Each structure stands twice: as C-alpha cells, then as structure tokens.
Structure 1
Amino acid sequence: MKARWLWLLIAAGVAIQVWLLVLKSSLGDVAGCGSTCDEVLSSRWSFVAGVPVPWFGLVTYVVTGIALKWRRPGLLASCLVLLGGAVVWFVGVQAFVLHHFCGWCLAAHGVALGTIGMGWRELRGMASVNWLPAVGGGLAPMGGAILIQVFGPVPATHRIEETAPVAAVVTDVHAQGGGRKVSFDGGAKRYDVEALPRLGPADAKHVLVEYFDYQCPACRTMHGFLETLRARHPREIAVIVLPVALERSCNRLLGPKDTVHEGSCEISRAALAVWRSAPGEFEEVHHALFADAQAGLRLAREKVGGGAKDEAWIDEMLRVDAEDWVVFSSKTKQLPKLLIADRRILHGLPSSEEDFVRVMEGELGLAK
C-alpha cells in the first residue's frame, strides 16, 4: 500500500514537471508582469546552465521511479535528498529573491515533500542505506545547480526585437501638443516629448518610451535600471513614462490569464494628475509611487491640491496606453515594454542592471 502511494506521488511529480515545461514554453524567456507565474517561470532562476529547471525535476522523478522499481535504497535516498534540497532552495528564491510565488511551483514542492515522506517510509522496508554516499549523491547535483545559478552565466530574461507595424494604433493622442515629437515605426506612432509624463530633459538626444505598471515588481526593478542609465548619461537620455494599469476597472483589455494589480488604476490616475497639474513635481511623485504606493498617493494629492485634474485627458491616456500595450504585445504581453528607436522594442526585464545598461548603451551608441 505504501509503495502504491509513492508511485502515485511520482506520477503526480512527473505530470506537474511536464505542465511547468508547457507553461514555461508558453511564457517564453521574457521576465515581467503579464501572466500567471511569470515572475518565477521566466526569471533567471528558472534555468540551470540554460536548461529549464523542470527538466531536472522530471529526470529526478524518473530516476526515483527506477530506484523504487529496482529496489535501490541508496539511489532512492539520493533522489529524496535532492528533492528536499530543491524544495528548500526554490522556495527560498521565491520568498526572498523574487518576492513572488508560482502556484504550480508550490504544488510541485508539495508533491516533492509528499514523495520524500512516503519514500522515507519505503526505505525502512529495504536493505540498510549507506547514508554518507547517499546524502552526497543528492547534495552534489543540487549544490552544483545552485553554484551555476548564482555564479554561472546569467540567462537573458528580456527580448529586443523589431516589432510588428503599429498601424493598429487608431489614435494619435500621444502626439497632441506643440512640443518636440519623437516617432516610432517610421512615424506611425508619435509622442510629444513635452506634453507626456517625462523623466529627463526634453531636448535629450535619445528619448525612450516606457509602458509599465506602478505595482508590477518587474517594472519597479526596471525603474531602478532606468535611473542608473539616466545617471550615467543625464543629458543624453529622457524617458516618456506611460502607465498601463493592470486592473480591470480602467483596463478592459485584460485577458483572463493576465496579471491583475488591485489599486493600479488609482495610482496611475494620481501620477497622471500630477503631471497634468504640476509637471515640475512629477518626477518626485513618480519615484515615490514606486517606493511606497500609499505614501506616493498621499504625496500626489498634496502636489495636486485643489488644481484641475483634467479627468477626460487622464481617462483617454489610460485607454490609449492599454491599447498600445496590446498592439505591442503580438509576441509577449509582459511589462515593462521599452521603445528604443524606430521599431526596436525591449520586452520584459533584463536579468541585471549591468546587463540592461550594457544592452542600452549598445543600442543607443552611448559612450561607456
């Protein structure tokens, strides 16, 4: 009876690992806010030496089944130790590094713990185990995987591509105003540098356009990356920042599998209101909203005061920003999205600040 339960757990482990591979394939290799589990399954921690982690889980369960079938207690013990090490490591990564949990990953960890418990009971009915090599046989591959993830080559978690033509954008609201215009896709999409929420000088040589959500963890990290890039090239770079609120009360284009951030509409509206009524205060509020949403909202209300909020303009901006997000998402919906030049667009979050700065300096031809 005990073995039957262990076989069921092994089968469940195989099934979940296969499903994680399917989910990971559907997400692609771009990290960011955009769909369920993407913070985990598209992060750098979802690979070991370029191989998706679920492949290693799948192999481990297959070997566990072989050890059980052939009654190899040492091999079975090594597999159980390996599963235990994987649970501790990957739960720790989700809790303390990513600050985001994938439900399917947690299900996999639960099955792993069940397999360890039932496997331990099964071991008691086998021949005695030489525990030193058995434990070493489990810890060695797990330790090697951790070392590769921490110190090995960091996989790319973003994508820069020539995006599809943006003819589907039906409104030119971003170009309204009498200031300098920057264009995308040969002029099919235009932005008024002075009329739109902006960080950096309006006369900067390079004007980037970012689509983001204030409550998206990947967007928060990208905010820090962009600040570092601007600090290195303060007169050469400006960033137009366009919030895409991932909340259905102001974004009807969200799909059933899209990430939803409650409160994003209120935060985005507050930021746009500050820009519209007190543009000189916008950058301070923009930083504050990323640092602490509630404190940022209080600051935004103070800056706006009794000034006109231009609700019609704010509504139109939120609608068009969301429409653009869909148009630019032919291959991936992940936020943030960063328009670089002409049809060059960066999807998702690079794996590190150093990687982002290096890539952007190369794309823009900036001196290091």
Structure 2
Amino acid sequence: MLGAAKRPYTMRLPNQIERKHEFSLPELPVARGAEHDLAVPRATRVVLALLAAAATGLSAYLAWLSFTGASVAGCDAGGAFDCDHVLATRWSSWLSVPIALPAVAIYGSILAVVAFLSPRVPRGVRRAAWWIVLGLSATAALAAVWFVGLQVLYIGHFCWPCLATHTCGLLLAATAWYAATVGSRRADANVPPRKWIAAAAGALLVAVLVAGQAVYEPPTFRIDRGESHVAVVEAQGSPERADAEPHGDPSTQQRERAAGAASPETPRSAQKPALSRILKLRNTSITLDAYEHPILGSPDAEHVIVKVFDYTCHHCRDQHFQLEETREILGNRLAILVLPTPMNGKCNPFAPPKSDGPTAHACLYARLAVAVWLTDRAKFAEFHHWLFEPETPPAIEDARKKARSLVGEAAIRLFDDGVEPIAQIELHTKLYGALGSGKIPKLVDERMIIDGRFQSGKQIVEVLEEQWKLPR
C-alpha cells in the first residue's frame, strides 16, 4: 500500500458532477423589454376610444344633416344656438364637401388605431399607431380651435353637435399627448421619438383646410330637382275675380280662357287670367290653388313659386328682403305664394314644441297673418311686410293692433275664433312635412325644392333664370 502510486487529483467542474435526481425550476419573468413594454395603460386606451367613438358618432350625425337638409334637434331658429344657421354658412364645407365627412374619417381612424396601442401588439405596429393617433389628434384639436373661433368671432351663433365634437377632439388630443409625453420619460415606454413631427403634420392638414375654405366659397343653398307636375285648371265663378264677365255663355267664355291659357306662344302675363291655378308641388301629392292662398303678385304670373317660412325665423326675414329685390328685377313674371309655417310643435306636428325662445309665438303670428288675408286680401301684403320690417318680430299685441288698423275688427274675430286660420296653417304644415320638413325657408315649385341661404336677390334671380330657362 505504501508503495502504491498515488492517483493524480482531478477537480470536477459542477457540470461534470453526476446528478441522480434532475429537476428544473420555473423560469423567472424576464424584465420588460421591447416585446412586453406597456405602451399605454388600459384606462387611457379606453378614454381615447370613448372620445373617438363619441366624436365619430356626432360627426356622422352632422354629415347626415348635410345630405338630408334636416334640422338639428335641440336648436332654436334665431337663438344663440342656431345650428341651421351655422351649418348653412360657407364654413360648414370644404371645397363643397361637408366638413363633417373628413371629421368622420379622422375620428373613425383614431378609434380603429387605438386598439393597436395595446402591449400585446408588436413594437413596430404600436409605434406606427402612436404616430397616427398623435398626428390625427393634433389635427382634431387645431381644427376645433379654428371652428370654435369662427362661431364665436364671425358667425355669432353656435351649433351644439359641432361644439360637442370639438370638445371631444380637444380632450382626445390632451389625453393622447399627455400619455405620450409622460410615457416618453419612462425607460420601458414605446412612444415615437420626435413626436412633435406628428403635431407639425396635423398643423399642415389644418392649414390646408383653412386655405381651402378661405379661397373657395361654395353655394350655401341646395336645389332638389324633379319632374314637372303643374296643372292649370279653369273654373267658373271664382269670387276673387273682379274681371270675370257677367254676361254671355259661361261655357264659351271658359273655352276661350282655356284656349288662351293653353297657347304656348302667349306668355301667361298677357293672357286672360284663369279662374283657378292649381299647382302640384315637387315630391308631394298636395295641390295648391294660387287664388286661394296668400300671394305676393298676380296668381296669373308666368311663374309662381311657393315660399314655406316662419315669421320668427331670421333666415326667412333675410330672404323676405331678397325676394323683394327678386320681384323688382323679374317684375310681373314672378309671383310668390307665401305660406306661414310656424316652427312650433303647438301648431306644427313636424316641429319641436316650444314654450319659450324665438319661436314661442310663431303660431300666433301665422294665425294673425292668415286672418288678415281672409279678411281683406288686398291688405295682406302690407301686413306681411310690416311683420318682417324690424330685426325681431313685433310684440303680438302690437301685431293685433296693426291688423285691426288695416282691416278692422273682423280680422281679430277670425284670429280669436281660430277655425279658418288654423285650417289654413294645418295645410301649410302638412306641406312642410311632405317636403321632408327640415330647414326653412324653402322655395318650391313644380320642378324643384330650394333650401338654404342666398347672398342676395340677384343670386335668386340667377338661380331662377337657370332653372326656368328665362331670357336674360
């Protein structure tokens, strides 16, 4: 044993030690890296999505109003929140495209992209989503400042769906940029560097918007054209005709009038006036007799157009004076059938009920005007003009006094009784509903429906000359 050779000592490394029992520990979670970083907290993503969804819905509603011509719910005609006035201005569109359509695209894109800010999304996709959200939210915020400024400083009226949309845009931008700014200070965040480039891109888009609106002024009225539906009917013994012949064979006289009225070579203004002129208006089954409704001008004018309006509507007030200019230019070729149509649900089932505000007494003004016409048709035009002269409608008691001074107590009795005037107004509101309700004033004839705002009476003349092919 003593002489046995010693074995050299060999050190075994740990990985060379035989293991009788092999086992493994669960993997420890790795530190958050590029694949696992939290880009945006869940609560922030939810807020962004809710704001974008609300703004998208409001913008879609405004776009629908632009295409249908319907009135905005919850707005007063003539009040501070006069949505129809705001949406009828040149600033409600861009190169003739309703501004609500780009808004739908912007907010809808933000809503779709917010989902890609989740930490489960690959880093590159999340990074691109950040750029889109920051750029489009900056566009929305700057556009909101522009449009709110227009309503405050230039238009002088407000549109509540517009303001609600702009509020969503400002809150959305504030939320997104706050998250991006705070997140960029965290080592584990994944927000794009030089994010102010996104703000510059948003500012550039808004600059294009402003330039387009400043350079191009789109038409602020809409024309709905259709087929002709007019009939001129001869009837005997109209009490309104002072020039009807009292002698002779009535059937012979009627045939002579019909022959004269049917002659295409003779203008209507030079023909013997018909006893009745029935108009079947565009898109409706309602017929109106030009001799049986308030009219400015002769029922036998070459062209008769129907005006659906409200005495408490300031757009109607503006158009009243424009149409006076139009009548001066066109002379006896044009007559206007004026149909007072109150924008108050108390007497108009197609209008919202109003107990206060500018349209509170709309039913009374319309009823009084119709009572004056029923009492003395020759005095109606004077009373009609008198109601439109001041910037706001006169007090209802002053209107009663004016009616009494023009046609006597008979008009007041008709007004107080209400049966005949109310029947007339019911027909007017029925026509308003058949025309699709919506904005007033409306100009209607057998071929077209025009709603919106004109700049002057000359512009109305140009439109009518084009539609009616009048010689200039």
Q: Please, what TM-score do these two structures have when normalized by structure 2? A: 0.62
C-alpha displacement of 1:359: 1.9
Specify the alignment match of 1:261 in structure 2.
359
Residue 420 of structure 2 is aligned to residue 313 of structure 1: yes
Identity level (%): 23
Specify the alignment match of 2:161 in structure 1.
104
CA distance in 1, matches of 2:74, 2:52: 21
2:382 to 273, 281, 284: 281
CA distance in 1, matches of 2:195, 2:345: 58
CA distance in 2, matches of 1:151, 1:89: 16
CA distance in 2, matches of 1:296, 1:365: 42
1:152 to 213, 216, 220: 216
Q: 1:86 to 1:220 in 2, by over 3 A?
A: farther
Per-residue Cα deviation, 1:202-230 (whole angstroms, up to 9, x for no partner): 55332211111223344334334423322
Residue 328 of structure 2 is aligned to residue 231 of structure 1: yes
1:272 to 367, 370, 376: 370
Moved more, 28-37 or 216-225: 28-37
CA distance in 2, matches of 1:189, 1:86: 46
Look up the SS of the partner of 1:325 in the other structure. helix
Moved more, 292-301 or 237-246: 292-301
Going by fraction, where is helix more abundant, 1 or 2?
A: 1
Look up the SS of the partner of 1:366 in the other structure. coil
Look up the SS of the partner of 1:142 in the other structure. helix
1:27 to 56, 65, 86: 65
Specify the alignment match of 1:10 in structure 2.
48
Contact in 1 for aligned 2:90/2:217 (Cα 8 Å): no
C-alpha displacement of 1:242: 0.6
Q: Which has the higher contact order (CA 8 A, sep 6+)?
A: 1
Moved more, 49-58 or 230-239: 49-58
Contact in 2 for aligned 1:210/1:240 (Cα 8 Å): yes
The correspondence of residues 150-189 of structure 1 with structure 2, limited to 5 A, is: 150-152=214-216, 154=218, 157-162=221-226, 177-179=239-241, 181-185=276-280, 189=287
Specify the alignment match of 2:147 in structure 1.
90
Counterpart of 2:333, as a letter, is E
Q: Please, what TM-score do these two structures have when normalized by structure 1? A: 0.77
Specify the alignment match of 1:172 in structure 2.
none
C-alpha displacement of 1:140: 1.9
Q: 1:183 to 1:62 in 2, by over 3 A?
A: closer
Tell me the matched-pair count.
Answer: 353
Give unpaired runs (5+ residues) of structure 1: 167-174
CA distance in 1, matches of 2:104, 2:383: 50
Specify the alignment match of 1:348 in structure 2.
451
Q: Look at both structures and tell me which one has the larger radius of gyration over its CA atoms.
A: 2
Contact in 1 for aligned 2:95/2:212 (Cα 8 Å): yes
Specify the alignment match of 1:335 in structure 2.
440
CA distance in 1, matches of 2:387, 2:238: 22
Contact in 2 for aligned 1:33/1:336 (Cα 8 Å): no
1:196 to 271, 293, 296: 293
Contact in 2 for aligned 1:334/1:348 (Cα 8 Å): yes
Counterpart of 1:285, as a letter, is W
Q: 1:212 to 1:163 in 2, by over 3 A?
A: farther
The correspondence of residues 32-181 of structure 1 with structure 2, limited to 5 A, is: 33=71, 39=84, 40=86, 44-61=90-107, 66=113, 69=117, 70-71=126-127, 78-95=135-152, 100-125=157-182, 126=184, 129=194, 131=196, 133-152=197-216, 154=218, 157-162=221-226, 177-179=239-241, 181=276
Counterpart of 2:359, as a letter, is H
Moved more, 216-225 or 358-367: 216-225
CA distance in 2, matches of 1:113, 1:62: 15
Give unpaired runs (5+ residues) of structure 2: 1-37, 76-82, 118-125, 185-191, 231-236, 242-274
Residue 246 of structure 2 is aligned to residue 246 of structure 1: no
Contact in 2 for aligned 1:20/1:104 (Cα 8 Å): yes
Look up the SS of the partner of 2:389 in the other structure. helix
Per-residue Cα deviation, 1:151-198 (whole angstroms, up to 9, x for no partner): 2251564232337979xxxxxxxx9852453321399723244x5323
CA distance in 2, matches of 1:118, 1:105: 20
C-alpha displacement of 1:76: 5.5
CA distance in 2, matches of 1:19, 1:62: 9
C-alpha displacement of 1:239: 1.0
CA distance in 1, matches of 2:64, 2:97: 16
Contact in 2 for aligned 1:202/1:238 (Cα 8 Å): yes
C-alpha displacement of 1:46: 3.5
